[in-house]
Structure 1
Amino acid sequence: MATRAAHKRLTREYKTISENPPPYITAHPSESNILEWHYVITGPEDTPYHGGQYWGTLMFPPNYPFAPPAIRMHTPSGRFQPSSRLCLSISDFHPRSFNPAWEVSTILIGLLSFMTSEEMTTGSVSATEAERKYHAARSRWWNSTGGGSHVKATSGQQKGNVKAGDGGAKFRAEWPELDKENWEWMNQHNIDPATGNPRTVPGGASGAGAASCGPQLGLAATTGSGHQAQAVVDAVVQQRNAGRGWLFRNKLVLAGAAIFIYVLIARLLGAGGVSSS
């Protein structure tokens, strides 16, 4: 339970951040517990997270602001381990370095700054730019479906932690308007709620307005950057050869053979003309 000072401080900070939210950030305390805050970071432009919707929690101690919160990001991002405590100078890993003058907005701005850097710490992961863009594209689906577990939701909630198995229930409870927007977005883009991938529609096209019927790269099925690179190579080769016959694929060999035969015949004819004269 929050101390009187912590309750007063967090109430004031909620008013401040609601009236003047930092760029790309929105946050609010849970209705049932003022020490449990939920934030959403929208991926900034010119980053691999652009357009992504990253949801996480700040769990404040009862004696805040004299001790820092535990910081987690639940949405897979390719930057942090989902729902893991992050070791930052503004988190509960370093209580002695925390400044009581720092506010919720300061903490979240610091988190966003660290997210867009490449510095490593406990709770962070290394991923390629393509992998981070992939997570950003699926973030709305993940938040509102619990990673697809809404199909068969199971009890997966923990205090201060959120597992994908909750079927998106926690996100829906804390962000009902965003959840509604996410489902509308999934319908508009013909996203399969069970997988997060575009549905295949009659005619072989997938997703809303899709026109290509060539081989798909299918990077979602790979597990590492090396496998992803091989998948790209294989798909390009497959697409290049799709619908092409033996003659087309061996046109250079055939052309060389034709030139060789032409030169050989020309020499034979030339030699015959010289001998007859």
Structure 2
Amino acid sequence: MAEKSCVKRLQKEYRALCKEPVSHVVARPSPSDILEWHYVLEGSEGMPFAGGFYYGKIKFPPEYPYKPPGIIMITPNGRFMTQKKICLSMSDFHPESWNPMWSVSSILTGLLSFMTDNTPTTGSVNTTAAEKRHLAKDSLAFNCKNRRCKGSRYPEGCKKKQEAAIPNLDDVVTGFNLWCCDGTASTSTLKSRLDKGNFRRVSENFCHVSTRILYREVIAEDAHLGLLTVANITVGGLL
């Protein structure tokens, strides 16, 4: 159980982080446990990580800020092992170098900086720039299908960024499998139905496990006729 001073400190740091976010990082505490934070690093342009979204967790001890947190990354990235604690001067690998004046913002800034460095450390991996670019391209699909990257713990700001990276149904339809209960099966039929305004539309992004192709599932229900249209729209190949 977190100490009262720890809770107050993390609440204060969260408010500060909301006011002054760290560039290329979205982070928030778990709604059920303020000691567990969830973050997403967005790859910077000009780096092998560009276009990537890297999800991970920071686990704070009840004695924070007098003891350092543990840091892990969940999305494959080519810099750190996944699901393994990362060795940093500001992580629980090095309590002797921890400074209680450091904050969540300091930790995230340090992690982002160390990610773009090639210095080996416990929990790091050695990959080429090409391999990192490939993993950056695959990161969106990984996050879409990984259960840890969904739900209330996943930073809402990053959900919006990821959704923005996926083409809109109205803008791009590159392929489809369409099932309509009235026997029709065409992209134009689907789009005209959605455009009529009699349908309510629910969409969710998902990734086919074997083909690794990203889809947007669209469910359009006609409130008056009771017709149901389900389409799996291919919105991006990931290989």
Q: TM-score scaled by structure 1?
A: 0.60
Residue 132 (1) aligns with residue 111 (2): no
Corresponding position of 2:151: 172
Residue 28 (1) aligns with residue 28 (2): yes
Residue identity opposite 2:95 in structure 1? P
Q: Give the Cα–Cα distance (whole angstroms) in 1 for the partners of residues 211 and 159 of structure 2.
A: 15
Distance 1:25 1:170, change over 3 A: closer
**3-state SS of paired residue (1:173):** coil
* Residue 208 (structure 1) shift: 5.6
Match of 2:212 among 194, 197, 200: 197
Corresponding position of 1:79: 79
Residue 112 (1) aligns with residue 119 (2): no
* Residue 196 (structure 1) shift: 6.2
Residue identity opposite 1:175 in structure 2? Y
**3-state SS of paired residue (2:39):** strand
Q: Give the Cα–Cα distance (whole angstroms) in 2 for the partners of residues 66 and 209 of structure 1.
A: 46
**3-state SS of paired residue (1:13):** helix
* Residue 170 (structure 1) shift: 4.8
* Residue 7 (structure 1) shift: 0.3
Greater relative contact order: 1 or 2 (C-alpha under 8 angstroms, separation 6 or more)?
2
Q: Give the Cα–Cα distance (whole angstroms) in 2 for the partners of residues 40 and 208 of structure 1.
A: 23
Corresponding position of 1:164: none
Instruction: Judge which range, 168-177 or 3-12, deviates more.
Output: 168-177
* Residue 46 (structure 1) shift: 1.1
The runs of 5 or more residues in structure 1 that have no matched partner are 147-167, 200-206, 211-217, 221-277
Structure number with greater Rg is 1
* Residue 183 (structure 1) shift: 6.3
Q: Give the Cα–Cα distance (whole angstroms) in 1 for the partners of residues 3 and 126 of structure 2.
A: 39
Q: Give the Cα–Cα distance (whole angstroms) in 2 for the partners of residues 92 and 176 of structure 1.
A: 23
Greater fraction helix = 1
Greater fraction strand = 2
Distance 1:137 1:56, change over 3 A: same
**3-state SS of paired residue (1:29):** strand
Residue 42 (1) aligns with residue 42 (2): yes
Whether the aligned pair in 2 keeps the contact of 1:37 and 1:57 (CA below 8 Å) is yes
* Residue 103 (structure 1) shift: 0.3
Whether the aligned pair in 2 keeps the contact of 1:90 and 1:107 (CA below 8 Å) is yes
Q: Give the Cα–Cα distance (whole angstroms) in 2 for the partners of residues 123 and 48 of structure 1.
A: 19
Distance 1:196 1:120, change over 3 A: farther
Distance 1:113 1:72, change over 3 A: same
